[in-house]
């Protein structure tokens, strides 16, 4: 026996005592978990709501769950911890969802969301058919109230009005795009400029087709109907969007890229934000040159194509979008 032996128990009694405490704690935790699980199962009928009218193109469970969590956090005036919705199922063909919330009180409060606008569609919110009110009334509960004033607009019947956030069926983004010449663009406008060339991909022996991109992109951009997004409070109709046409398609490879650089410089000097449609990766250098002529330093540029890549060797200080 050495000088440290007195610091340790001479028998296993202390160890047995510690093991018993651990065992009791584990048993208590298991019992609490079991009770919670049983309670969740017993109250599930009262914690589920039906949401109808979900637009099929936005019938994504994760997206809808994020939307509901954000709406509820705003109405409760608290930080969104994404815990309000426990589970969610969407029937895409029939455009409805069953949403399970974390408490009966929250579920009852969320009935006030009937009439909520989601992606320009008015949602219908009601109890699920499985709801058994006689089981809920046996337990006294403190009611929870949502502050609906934090949502876009509430009318007198406590429904969320579509007055400021709906989009007319005959309106699309093309209705708000002004066709003009490059010398008439206005300060602060998003300026669409087409670059119908794919000579760069031809020389690199890559699949061609970029020369038609400006025409195809315009066709789809003009069809966009989601003009107003209530989730992020964005209204595209308030933007000034101007289309100045294409770089002439009959120029040589070198001439077209040089003219692109000059056009981008001119747009920026007029206070516009260039949005380039079409072209291959070969145009990035000339696009950057146009930006550098005005910025005179660090620039920011995003290039979106069929082979998405990210470049991190440029410090972003100014933002321009190149499509």
Query: How far apart are alpha carbons 131 and 133 in whole angstroms?
Result: 6
User: In the block, which residue shows the tokens 């109890």?
Assistant: 127
Predicted pLDDT of residue 72: 92
pLDDT tens digit sequence for 135-154: 776 566 778 889 888 675 44
Across 95-99, 103-107, 126-130, 209-213, least confident range: 209-213
Looking at residues 22-39, what average pLDDT do you find?
Answer: 54
Predicted pLDDT of residue 88: 94
**Residues 110, 51 contacting (CB under 8 angstroms):** no
Between residues 230 and 257, which one has the greater pLDDT? 257
**Residues 290, 265 contacting (CB under 8 angstroms):** yes
**Residues 225, 171 contacting (CB under 8 angstroms):** yes
pLDDT range class, residue 241, cuts 50, 70, 90: very high
Predicted pLDDT of residue 167: 38
- The structural domains of the chain, with segments of one domain joined by +, span 14-43, 47-150, 173-322
Predicted pLDDT of residue 137: 64
Domain 173-322: which CATH class? alpha beta
Taking residue 117's Cβ as centre, other Cβ atoms within 10 Å add up to: 22
Predicted pLDDT of residue 154: 40
Predicted pLDDT of residue 252: 85
Query: How far apart are alpha carbons 46 and 310 in whole angstroms?
Result: 48
Predicted pLDDT of residue 236: 83
pLDDT range class, residue 5, cuts 50, 70, 90: very low
Predicted pLDDT of residue 42: 81
Closest CA to 46 of 120, 124, 110, 116: 110
Q: Is the pLDDT of residue 164 over 60?
A: no
What average pLDDT does the structure give for the chain?
75
Between residues 235 and 187, which one has the greater pLDDT? 187
Which architecture characterizes domain 47-150 according to CATH?
2-Layer Sandwich (3.30)
pLDDT tens digit sequence for 66-118: 999 989 998 998 888 889 999 999 999 899 999 999 999 999 999 999 888 88
Looking at residues 291-303, what average pLDDT do you find?
Answer: 73
Q: Is the pLDDT of residue 249 over 90?
A: no
Tell me the residue ranges of DSSP E strands in 128-278: 177-179, 190-194, 228-229, 234-235, 241-246, 273-277
Predicted pLDDT of residue 293: 75
Query: How far apart are alpha carbons 306 and 220 in whole angstroms?
Result: 16
> Would strands 121-122 and 117-118 be described as parallel, antiparallel, or unpaired?
antiparallel
Q: Is the pLDDT of residue 31 over 70?
A: no
Query: How far apart are alpha carbons 10 and 244 in whole angstroms?
Result: 91
Measured in Å, how far apart are the chain's first and last C-alpha atoms? Answer: 80
Alpha helices for 185-280 (secondary structure H): 199-203, 213-223, 253-269
């Amino acid at each position: 026996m050495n000088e440290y032996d007195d610091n340790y128990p001479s028998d296993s009694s202390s160890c047995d005592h510690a093991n018993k405490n651990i065992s009791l704690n584990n048993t208590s935790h298991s019992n609490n978990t079991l009770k919670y699980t049983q309670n969740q199962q017993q109250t599930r009928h009262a914690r589920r709501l039906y949401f109808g009218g979900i637009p099929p193109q936005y019938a994504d469970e994760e997206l809808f769950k994020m939307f509901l969590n954000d709406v509820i956090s705003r109405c409760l005036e608290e930080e969104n911890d994404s815990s309000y919705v426990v589970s969610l199922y969407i029937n895409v063909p029939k455009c409805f969802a069953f949403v399970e919330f974390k408490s009966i009180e929250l579920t009852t409060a969320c009935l006030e969301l009937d009439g909520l606008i989601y992606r320009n569609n008015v949602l219908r919110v009601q109890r699920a058919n499985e709801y058994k009110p006689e089981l809920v009334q046996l337990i006294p509960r403190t009611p929870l109230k949502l502050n609906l004033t934090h949502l876009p607009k509430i009318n007198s019947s406590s429904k969320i009005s579509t007055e400021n956030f709906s989009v007319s069926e005959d309106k699309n983004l093309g209705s708000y795009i002004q066709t003009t010449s490059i010398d008439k663009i206005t300060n602060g406008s998003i300026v669409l400029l087409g670059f119908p060339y794919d000579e760069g991909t031809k020389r690199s022996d890559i699949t061609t087709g970029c020369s038609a991109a400006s025409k195809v992109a315009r066709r789809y951009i003009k069809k966009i109907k989601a003009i107003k997004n209530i989730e992020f409070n964005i209204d595209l109709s308030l933007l000034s969007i101007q289309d100045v046409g294409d770089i002439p398609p009959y120029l040589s490879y070198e001439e077209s890229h040089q003219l692109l650089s000059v056009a981008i410089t001119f747009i920026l000097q007029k206070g516009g934000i260039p949005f380039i449609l079409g072209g291959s990766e070969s145009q990035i250098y000339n696009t950057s040159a146009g930006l550098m002529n005005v910025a005179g330093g660090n620039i920011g540029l995003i290039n979106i194509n069929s082979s998405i890549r990210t470049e991190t060797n440029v410090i972003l200080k100014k933002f321009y979008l190149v499509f």
